[in-house]
Amino acid sequence: IEGERVYFNGDSYCCPCNYRRIIAELPQMVCYRSGGGLAVNLFAPAACEFLSTGAGHVRVRMETAYPNDGRVTLRLDPENPARFPVQLRIPLWAGGTTLVCNDQPLALKPVPGTFAVVDREWRPGDTLTMEMPMEWRLVRGRERQAGRIAVMRGPLVFCLDPSQNPQLAKLDPADLGQLRLDPDSLGAPVSDNRVRPDGIACQAGFWKGGFGLGAKHDYTLRLTEFPDPAGRATYFSLRDPAVGEKDVLLAESPF
At 174 the pLDDT is 80
Backbone angles phi, psi at 112, to 5 degrees: -55, 140
Indicate the pLDDT class of residue 4, thresholds 50, 70 and 90: confident
Give the chain's domains with CATH numbers.
14-131 (2.60.40), 136-243 (no CATH)
**Contact, 172 vs 179, CB < 8 A?**
no
Q: What percent of the chain has pLDDT over 90?
A: 71
pLDDT of 133-161, one tens digit each? 999 999 988 888 888 899 999 999 999 99
Q: How far is the C-alpha of 96 from the C-alpha of 246, rounded, in Å?
A: 17
Q: How far is the C-alpha of 229 from the C-alpha of 195, rounded, in Å?
A: 8
Mean pLDDT (the chain, rounded): 90
At 254 the pLDDT is 40
Q: Is the pLDDT of residue 33 over 60?
A: yes
pLDDT of 77-103, one tens digit each? 999 999 999 999 999 999 999 999 999
Helix (H) or strand (E) holding 19: helix 14-25
Q: In this predicted structure, which of 6-20, 153-167, 206-220 has the lowest mean pLDDT?
A: 6-20
At 16 the pLDDT is 77
At 255 the pLDDT is 35
pLDDT of 120-139, one tens digit each? 999 999 999 999 999 999 99
95 versus 209: the higher-pLDDT residue is 95
Q: Across residues 12-37, what is the average pLDDT?
A: 88
Q: Is the pLDDT of residue 227 over 50?
A: yes
At 253 the pLDDT is 46
Q: In this predicted structure, which of 8-12, 27-31, 195-199 has the lowest mean pLDDT?
A: 8-12
Which distant-in-sequence residues (6+ apart) come within 8 Å of 36 by Cβ?
Answer: 52, 53, 84, 85
